[in-house]
Amino acid sequence: MTDTPLTAIASSNDPPLAERAYLRLREAIADGTLAAGSKISERGLAAALGISPQPVREALRRLEGEGMVESRPRSGTFVAELTPARLAEIGHIRAALEGAATGIAARRATPADIAALRTRLAAIRGATALGDAAALAEANDSFHRTLHAITGNAFLIRSLQALRAYFHVGSRRVLGGEEQFRQAEAEHAAIVEAIAAGEAEHAEALMQAHAMRSLRVAFPEEAA
C-alpha cells in the first residue's frame, strides 16, 4: 500500500513514536480508514505518518498480537477480517470490563470527577437532541474515556481501549435511530447518578446492561 489516507504524526517525544503509531493505526482500523482485509505495508504507513519504519514495525507487531492485523506467508500484512461472531465474543468481554471499571469509578470518584462526567453527559444530551450520530459517537467515547481514567488502573484502561477499538470495527455501521439515542442517553444519566451516589454495585450493573444492549443492537443474532 503506497497511498494511505492517514495524516502525519506530530513531532514529540511523549508518548514514544511507537505508541503513537500504534494508537493512530488502531484508530484507523476501528474507523475503517484501513479497511478490513486490505493489504498494508510498513513503508507505506511510515511515509503516510511521516515517521521511520521502525516504530511502525513495532506498532504492527503489537496489533498483530492483538489480532487486528495478520501476516500471511509470502503475501504480506493485512488488516484482519473479524467475523460478527468474533466481535460479539469481544463485546461480551468488553461489557464485563466496562462494568468493572464503572464499579471502581463509583468507589474512587471525587466531586471533580463527577463534574467531569456530568459535562460529558451534557455533550451526549446535546448530540442526542440534534440527532447528530457523529457527535454522539465522539461524546460517548469521551464519556467512557473519562470514566476509565477515574479508575486509575492503567492496565484496565489499556484493555478497554483495545476492546472498544475492536468493537467499533464491526459496530460503527450500527448507528441506531432517535429511540436508540435517547435510550443510551438515559442509561448514561442513570450510570452517572449511581456513581455520584457511590452505589458501586448498582453502577456496575447499569453499565453492564448498557454495554450488553449496545452489543445486541450491533450483533442481534450473535449476542442472543
Task: Indicate the pTM of the whole model.
Answer: 0.77
Dump pLDDT digits (tens) for 172-219.
545 567 888 899 999 999 999 999 999 999 999 999 999 999 888 888
User: CA dihedral defined by 47, 159, 101, 84, rounded to 10 degrees?
Assistant: 90
Query: What pLDDT, on a 0 to 100 scale, did the predictor assign at position 63?
Result: 92
Domain with CATH 1.10.10.10 in the chain: 17-79
Task: Judge: domain 17-79, CATH 3.40.50.300.
Answer: no
CATH fold of 84-218 reads Four Helix Bundle (Hemerythrin (Met), subunit A) (1.20.120)
For residue 124, give the nearest of 210, 197, 207, 183 by alpha carbon: 183
Query: What pLDDT, on a 0 to 100 scale, did the predictor assign at position 166?
Result: 75
Q: Which residue type is seen at 81?
A: E
Look at 98 and 168; give whichever has higher pLDDT: 98
Helices (H), 109-177: 111-130, 133-151, 154-171
Domain with CATH 1.20.120.530 in the chain: 84-218
